[in-house]
Amino acid sequence: MKEINTRKAKHVPKIKLKTQHRHSQGQAKVNIAADKTVKKGVVTTEKPKPVVNAEAVEQEKPQVRYITVDIEDAGQRIDNFLLRTLKGVPKSHLYRLMRKGEIRVNKKRIKPVYKLALNDEIRVAPIRISEQKDNVSTGLAVVANLEKQILFEDDRLIIINKPSGMAVHGGSGLSFGLIEALRALRPEARMLELVHRLDRDTSGCLVVAKKRSALRHLHEQFRDKHVQKFYHALVKGHWPDKLTRVTAALKKNDLKSGERVVIVDNQNGKESETRFKVLERFRGATLVRAFPVTGRTHQIRVHCQTSGHSIAMDAKYGHEDFDMQMKSKGLKRLFLHAASIEFTHPLTEQRIKIEAPLEASLESLLSKLVKE
């Protein structure tokens, strides 16, 4: 061992350090600071520089991707397909790659509107994809509870009893919605896409497709009005038995705050129709069944309001006094529930009907009302 002395600096006493004369490969060397800026008794060491693995860096480089189109993806536009497949790549960037010929189908240039055919081979030039993994934890109570709300599931569909207060998808300040939570619960599912939507405060039957073919099949049924959705709503006052059909045209208005409100506008609004049936009468309220023939935004809620019978606890279209009465009895949410949905199964071609029970809070409210 060899003793190494530091040079004596002003106001710094001599210190003695012992170290090995020889340094093995990769071992940090001791530097003895000797100028006036060094604090008393401080010794610094150099950290070894990290070894860069050239082979690992090479593997991290983006590679050419080849995708063969199967029956599930055939028929859709290539831009929509790539937006779903290459998550994390901006739409504008994909369009630019197609214009430059960096994305080709069967070795040929294509336009974004090109519709994929079975066995098409898509070549995607090397592109770095910053995939955003779902950060939804399956340990969250609200996510874990969704497993108990599944009403029907097979290899093509999931039908779930959506809780009130949960948006169908993330956005507008929400970190995640129902579809993101389902993807976390079913990580092995190749795709999960909403077939239709429900308002955030509406509960009940919501259909999610597991296959592209099932999504197309059900969208066709919705367009052809072959899907029947029935809602239960508790409305203000005595709903007349003769009031079985409301056809007020609806128009969407976006306020400066960004909030969307729907109004009745029979000149400029879109044609809308909801059919109603009285299920049960209570003192000051009526439980009705609503069947939306068309599917406009907030349709049932506005059609109830314009008929003079607003839905209980409707923050946008409700009646203040009625809402206060229902709140005093324990109601904390909009009383609108997608009670059932009926459609043709995309594989078996058989008609199926799925029903979603009312949540306990709604059942509790009904039990407190006085029947007429």
32/9 Cα distance (integer angstroms): 12
Instruction: For residue 294, give both structure tokens.
Output: 């068309």
Q: What is the pLDDT of residues 279-331, one digit of tens each?
A: 999 999 999 999 999 999 999 999 999 999 999 999 999 999 999 999 999 99
What share of residues in the chain are helix, strand, coil (percent, to 5)?
A: 20, 30, 50
Who's near 358: CB < 8 A, 6+ residues apart?
232, 337, 339, 366
For the annotated catalytic residues, the residue numbers are: 199
Percent of the chain scoring above 70 in pLDDT: 77
Would you say residue 22 has pLDDT above 60? no
Amino acid, single-letter form, for residue 122? I
Report pLDDT for 129. 62
203/166 Cα distance (integer angstroms): 9
303/264 Cα distance (integer angstroms): 8
269/248 Cα distance (integer angstroms): 9
Report pLDDT for 292. 96
Would you say residue 12 has pLDDT above 50? no
Higher pLDDT, 174 or 347: 347
| Chain-centre distance for alpha carbon 77 | 22
- Helix count (H) and strand count (E) of the chain? 9, 20
Report pLDDT for 50. 54
350/50 Cα distance (integer angstroms): 63
Instruction: For residue 109, give both structure tokens.
Output: 């240039």
